């Protein structure tokens, strides 16, 4: 497994998104997926306090017992939980203590702000997170759902005050959602040396080839388990047309659509790891196998045109 460096952390190029834990799969199934990931060389496990209302962290922590030193644990805070939300110093203190308890660990490798908090001065948030790094409760900090302008401003504050700055950015990014390429976020990552961690990298399964235009999604799938109105954000005529173009490109190169979904993202130097979710060990095997393709500059340019329509 290829590894990449983000701040003080070394992570696998293919990571595991843990948002299914405590929701779509139970504790036993979580353990099977986590152990399969470790055995396959995956080291980055990305969760959040809000996933499964705390169960994702709890199940992940139990699954990692005895193998904690093989894992880089990334979790997030800020979305509403029982007792609070946001990014105030007071809530950060409570949220990190709760996450450490649920995970059953003495430190979190990557602690991420799930979304900016407009009600808290960002200087206070940055100072509180720096305090966690200094205390050893957290090794590095990251952010999610942010703009390039926000990154420039907040990293300027960190540098000016000699405080811990973000080492990662987790935004929505896939071949069907390429906004980070045009909104300046990837440029900001390159400018500041940050690692991009794309979420929804497989577009909720649209880039795996499991869905077909005009067909109802299977019940056991992510898009089959949510209301049709929500699923339509991913399953629509434009998305299916794009997938068809990308599939033809993959076929010409003797690759799968899944390989293209991973390969395109991992061929971007700003991307540190692709954190795809999984509910079964077989999906782990497929994701890891798909993570080996690196596209040439010419291929990247052609795929970008195909994705744009």
* pLDDT tier at 42, thresholds 50, 70, 90: very high
pLDDT attached to residue 216? 66
Is residue 106 in some structural domain? yes
pLDDT attached to residue 221? 67
pLDDT attached to residue 210? 79
User: Does residue 110 sit in helix, strand or coil?
Assistant: strand
Domain span at residue 291 reads 3-209+262-295
Is residue 19 in some structural domain? yes
pLDDT at 237 over 90: no
pLDDT attached to residue 131? 98
> Mean pLDDT across the chain, nearest whole number?
94
Is residue 217 in some structural domain? no
Q: Which CATH number does the domain housing residue 34 bear? A: 3.20.20.100
Q: Is 51 a catalytic residue?
A: yes
Whole-model pTM: value is: 0.94
Instruction: Quote the number of domains for the chain.
Output: 1
* pLDDT tier at 255, thresholds 50, 70, 90: very high
Is residue 218 in some structural domain? no
């Amino acid at each position: 497994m290829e590894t990449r460096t983000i701040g003080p952390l070394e992570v696998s190029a293919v990571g595991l998104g843990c948002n299914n834990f405590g929701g779509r799969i139970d504790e036993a199934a979580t353990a099977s997926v986590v152990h399969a990931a470790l055995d396959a060389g995956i080291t980055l496990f990305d969760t959040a306090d809000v996933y499964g209302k705390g169960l994702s962290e709890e199940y992940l922590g139990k699954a990692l017992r005895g193998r904690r030193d093989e894992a880089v644990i990334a979790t997030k805070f800020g979305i509403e939980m029982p007792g609070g939300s946001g990014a105030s110093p007071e809530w950060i203190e409570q949220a990190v203590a709760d996450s450490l308890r649920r995970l059953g660990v003495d430190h979190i490798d990557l602690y991420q702000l799930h979304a900016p908090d407009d009600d808290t001065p960002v200087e206070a948030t940055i100072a509180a997170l720096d305090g966690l790094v200094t205390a050893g409760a957290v090794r590095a900090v990251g952010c999610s759902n942010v703009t390039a302008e926000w990154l420039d401003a907040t990293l300027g504050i960190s540098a000016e005050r000699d405080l811990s700055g973000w080492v990662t950015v987790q935004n929505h990014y896939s071949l069907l959602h390429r906004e980070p390429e045009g909104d300046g976020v990837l440029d900001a990552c390159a400018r500041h040396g940050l690692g991009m961690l794309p979420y929804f990298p497989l577009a909720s399964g649209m880039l795996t080839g499991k869905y077909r235009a005009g067909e109802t999604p299977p019940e056991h799938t992510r898009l089959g388990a949510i209301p049709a109105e929500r699923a339509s954000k991913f399953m629509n005529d434009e998305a299916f047309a794009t997938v068809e173009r990308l599939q033809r490109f993959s076929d010409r190169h003797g690759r799968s659509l899944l390989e293209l979904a991973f390969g395109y993202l991992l061929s971007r130097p700003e991307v540190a790891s692709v954190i795809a979710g999984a509910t079964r060990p077989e999906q782990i095997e497929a994701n890891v196998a798909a993570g080996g393709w690196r596209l040439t500059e010419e291929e990247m340019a052609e795929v970008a045109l195909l994705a744009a329509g």
